[in-house]
Amino acid sequence: MCALHITGFAQFSDSVDHYISFAGTGNLNRTNTGSTYLLNNAVRFQVDKKKVSLNSMVSYVYGRNPQSKTNDDVLAIMNVDFLKNVQKFYYWALTGFEKSFSLKVDSRFQGGVGVGYIFANSAKSNLEVSDGFLVETTDLSIEDKHGRTSYQAVRNSLRLKYRFLIKDIIKIDGTNFYQPSLSDFNDYILKLNTNVSVTLYKWLSFTTSFNYNRQNITSTENLLLTYGLRAEKYF
């Protein structure tokens, strides 16, 4: 990885191998018929060593309009990357939990392994693609297209991850997943996430987040566009 950068786009070095961030974003629309609001909070923690990196993330989204609740969604992911900092080709293992009111998921557990390849990695840009297989157990709050409310599946998990820094002030980063079931390609999960941040101080930035999620087997989806602040620290 590249050396520590003092502009707020800090990176890991020989003496800096921990990272933590908190992003609190949301939006509010108030009219004479009531208020519509959405809160999107996420905490990330990373430990980066020469041959092993551990990444974890927990996010919570809550939304409501004048008529009803729209979002009550929890996502927790932890993954470990092997050899990522010493070569372009690396290995990964992942485990995750999801509960989503908007996608009608009571619980989803995933775990799996795979490989990845880094096309670019510098202080200004990062681009990598990974692929692998996940074993999944899902409980739904509605019936899917096959009349099921619970099932198990093996999925292919394709991920595109990127990060770009413009003039040491604007940062664009994102992680996108496409996860089709190996037994039913009509059963796929699509997760798109992109963040655009403008540095206000070396540890604080203004952030706009775009999230789109679709679970095709139940024809449920959500699209979130929020804005707020992100605080981060390397140590």
Q: What is the pTM of this model?
A: 0.88
SS3 content of the chain, % helix, strand, coil (to 5): 0, 75, 25
Q: What is the rounded CA–CA span in Å between residue 195 and residue 199?
A: 13
Among 20-34, 85-99, 138-152, 193-207, the least confident range:
20-34
> Which 8-state DSSP code applies to residue 32?
T
Residue 179, burial from CB neighbour count under 10 angstroms (0-12, 13-18, 19+): buried
Q: What is the rounded CA–CA span in Å between residue 104 and residue 220?
A: 7
Distance of CA 170 to the CA centre of its chain: 19
What tokens appear for 211 in the block? 């999230």
Q: Quick check: 13 pLDDT over 80? A: no
Q: Which domains does the chain have, with CATH numbers?
A: 18-234 (2.40.128.130)
Q: Quick check: 14 pLDDT over 90? A: no
Q: Quick check: 16 pLDDT over 80? A: no
Is beta strand 188-201 parallel, antiparallel or unpaired with respect to 150-166?
A: unpaired
User: What's the pLDDT tens digit per position in 126-140?
Assistant: 999 999 999 999 999
* 188 — pLDDT class (breaks 50, 70, 90): very high
